[in-house]
Amino acid sequence: MEITIIGAGYVGLVTGACFAEMGHIVTCLDIDEEKIKMLNESHIPIYEPSLEELVKKNQKGKRLFFTTDYKKAIKNATVCFISVPTPSNEDGSCNTSFIEDVAKTIGSLMDDYKVVVTKSTAEVGTTFRIKNIILEELKKRDVRVDFDVVSNPEFLKEGSAVSDCLKPDRIVIGTENEKSTEIMKEVYQGFTLKHDRLIFMDILSSEMTKYAANAMLATRISFMNEIANICEKVGANINNIRKGIGSDSRIGYSFLYAGIGYGGSCFPKDIKALCSLAQKKGVKASLLEKVDEINTNQKKVLANNIIEFFSKNGGIKDKTIAIWGLSFKPDTDDMREAPSLTFIEMLLNKGAKLRLFDPIAMQKAKKLFKEHKNIVWCRDENHAAEGSDAIALLTEWKQFRLLNFNPIKKIMKTPILFDGRNQYHPVDMEKKGFKYIGIGIPNQIR
């Protein structure tokens, strides 16, 4: 089947490469000429494990193509996926202007049957709005062309997006009729041998499912972070509590890790959009508003701990802090809504000197902070630790897990570790001669 993906960002590029891997002929379209030029030269503009290999393989196999030509991309496609950004408006609502622009273009160009699929996360009702926009464009042209609209939300996790796409735990599809349902079954035929992973439903429920899933996961994170903050005051250990409640089959272990808050392109934006939608419909989303508030505050916790600690040791001004990890999570270079952004801004405002390192996200981080007299960009974690008064771990990259801390201790001014992800064991770090401060861990140094 010939498929067009409109929008070659994180979701669009991964989805397109995976569809090509399953044997479809895929054209990824983007209006960014520089991005398309890079992709046609097999240069991937984002970091995602296994993505580069997948793109190159399917380009070589003549199953994956990149273009800026709308007319060419839409003409031969049976299915057009819309995968463009849906940024937040100032009030937190979802900005669907890019989606609406795409719908207008599709309506102005298509001359035979298409299935138009909303892959972007957008406000409930967007897919039907797309339908109406296309109908309006067809009316302007005074032509009658049959088409269907479908909602097919993505559930990819950055850092494991290729695996998530090729081996999905479920595929949610919202359709209006049997024809589009059968076409979507054909689209996803190669992705799952078990048909129970294909979950068909009405379009509005499909759109809402995406928001509900992200809201549930964000709620678990904020819940554990709030419990962790209580733990610090009563002397309990959040890691023990995670084991104690995670072993309950009704709860499970997923997303029960305390830390410095969630970030990325999905959770923060989707929670705000869902709160905005609820308000628009006259529903008070008290729980979701609190989830967002807790997360905003949690991003400040580790920086406040460092500021408080050094207030008893001459103040944070001119102290050197090594920062390990900048991306919002491991295995991605995505800096959107990353807790590190709040952390860095807070310490810079207090006059601290920062030595920054991330295995993948350095280039994107440099674009955000540019030149700052109190920032040193480092080549690795050891380089960052040189001459530092403390280390702050913000992203739990695998390469930080099994380090030899003896040489690191020797090059630091004072061996203090602030662990924003509870990656290390307090007793182990103390045996290695470090003062250790985690999140929700007892015997904290205050």
For residue 131, give Cα distances in angstroms to 94, 99, 126, 218.
Answer: 18, 11, 9, 31
Chain centroid to CA 367 = 19
Task: Give the ranges where 235-330 is alpha helix by DSSP (H).
Answer: 238-246, 267-280, 286-298, 301-311
Cβ atoms of 22 and 193 within 8 Å: the answer is: no
The neighbour count for residue 202, using CB atoms within 10 Å, is: 12
pLDDT tens column, 105-136: 999 999 999 999 999 999 999 999 999 999 99
Sheet containing 25-29: order of strands: 64-67, 25-29, 2-6, 79-82, 114-118, 147-151, 171-174, 198-201
CB-based contact 420:392 (threshold 8 Å): yes
Can you give the pLDDT at residue 445? 46
Judge contact between 147 and 180, C-beta under 8 A: no
Using alpha carbons, select from 361, 368, 318, 364 the residue that is nearest to residue 345: 368
Task: Give pLDDT, residue 413.
Answer: 97
Residue with tokens 């490469």: 17
Mean pLDDT, range 323-329, rounded to an integer: 98
275 is known as an active-site residue? no
Exactly one of 165, 266, 275, 378 is catalytic; which is it? 266
In this structure, are residues 106 and 116 in contact, taking their beta carbons and an 8 Å threshold?
yes
pLDDT at 309: 95
Instruction: Report yes or no: 383 and 349 within 8 Å, Cβ to Cβ.
Output: no
Q: Which residues of 15-53 are buried (b: 16+ CB within 10 A; e: fewer)?
A: bbbbbbbbebbbbbbbbeeebbeebeeeebbbbbeebbe
Check: CB of residue 269 under 8 Å from CB of residue 280.
no
The predicted structure's pLDDT at residue 370: 79
Q: What integer best gives the mean pLDDT of the chain?
A: 95
Q: 14 CB contacts (<8 Å, ≥6 apart)?
A: 48, 51, 156, 161, 162, 165
Distance of CA 171 to the CA centre of its chain: 18
Where residue 404 falls among pLDDT bands split at 50, 70, 90? very high
Section 43-60 average pLDDT: 95
With contact defined as beta carbons under 8 Å apart, do 408 and 434 qualify? Answer: no
Kindly tell me if the per-residue pLDDT of 193 is higher than 80: no
Report, as an integer, the average pLDDT of 44-61. Answer: 95
pLDDT at 77: 97
Residue 245: CA count within 13 A, CB half-sphere: 14
Q: Is the pLDDT of residue 322 over 60?
A: yes
Residue 194 has pLDDT above 80, yes or no: no
Q: Is the pLDDT of residue 443 over 70?
A: no
The helix or strand, by DSSP H or E, that contains position 383, with its residue range, turns out to be helix 381-385
Q: Catalogue the E-assigned strands of 289-401.
A: 320-324, 353-357, 375-377, 390-393
Mean pLDDT score, 324-332: 97
Q: Say yes or no to pLDDT of 444 above 70.
A: no
What is the Cα–Cα distance from 63 to 25, expressed in whole angstroms? Answer: 5
pLDDT band for position 442 (50/70/90)?
A: confident
For residues 331 and 160, is the Cβ–Cβ distance under 8 A? yes
pLDDT tens sequence across 265-291: 899 999 999 999 999 999 999 999 999
Element (H, E) at 147: strand 147-151
How far is the CA of 340 from the CAs of 166, 209, 360, 401, in angstroms? 31, 30, 14, 19
pLDDT tens per residue, range 170-187: 999 999 999 999 999 999
Going along the chain from its start, the domains and CATH numbers come out as 2-201 (3.40.50.720), 211-296 (1.10.1040.10), 299-437 (3.40.50.720)
| Joined tokens for residue 30 | 């983007």
Residue 371: per-residue pLDDT: 82
| pLDDT at 263 > cutoff 50 | yes
Q: What's the pLDDT tens digit per position in 81-105?
A: 999 999 999 999 999 999 999 999 9
Q: What is the mean pLDDT of residues 425-442?
A: 95
Residue indicated by tokens 């960014």: 32
More confident call, 173 vs 192: 173
pTM value is 0.92
Residue 446 in this model has a pLDDT that exceeds 60: no
CA dihedral of residues 376, 378, 383, 389 (deg, nearest 10)? 40
Residues 409, 433 contacting (CB under 8 angstroms): yes
Q: Kindly state the helix (H) or strand (E) to which residue 60 belongs, with its residue range.
A: helix 51-60
How high is the pLDDT of residue 190? 86
- At residue 17, the 3 state secondary structure works out as helix
